[in-house]
Amino acid sequence: MKSIKVAAIQMACTSDKTRNIEMAKTLVREAAAQDAQIILLQELFETLYFCQEESPEHFGLATELPDPSYDSKDHWQTCMCGHSAANLMPVVAANRIRTETVGPSKITFYGSSFITDNKGRIIAQADRSTQGLIVADMDLERFARDRESWGLFRDRRPELYGPIMTLDGITRVPH
């Protein structure tokens, strides 16, 4: 049986890049000490989440939420679990925690990093606010057998993908 252990790092970030990197190193080493072979850090872990900055060039992309108290965590997790189940592939999702402020903008992250099995079931999950890591064992051979038995890739016709690999249905996008 080919098995692998994965880990997702969940941490708070500050404006101190060196401090963030050191914390990431500490948590990665902790995951490695727990025999994790694949370790996922959250996106942009070296800095504050600058994507939240309210900058005029980004205003046109924003839409108002009907309810300002809306919590997208459940929707995010449901979508990620659905991707896992639909593709019979595990998902490792690492998220940030705490509140970060960039300029006049403030964003609170909901943590809840998680790992699914290949059928979308959450097998490890962090809470909303604790910095740390989660780990899980994965049986890659079983996952491959599951995908094969479902025939997920058996009926694909990649030779017909040409039009959907373009921006306009005709012109190929250069790689």
Overall pTM surpassing 0.95 (yes/no): no
For residue 113, the model assigns a pLDDT of 97
DSSP H helical segments within the chain, as ranges?
A: 17-33, 73-87, 140-150
Reference 97, options 64, 133, 63; nearest CA is 133
CA 54 – CA 46 distance, rounded (Å): 20
Taking only the tens place, the pLDDT of each residue in 34-83 is 999 999 999 888 888 877 776 665 455 445 656 767 788 999 999 999 99
CA 175 – CA 133 distance, rounded (Å): 36
Domains detected in the chain: 3-165 (3.60.110.10)
For residue 157, the model assigns a pLDDT of 84
CA 78 – CA 2 distance, rounded (Å): 28
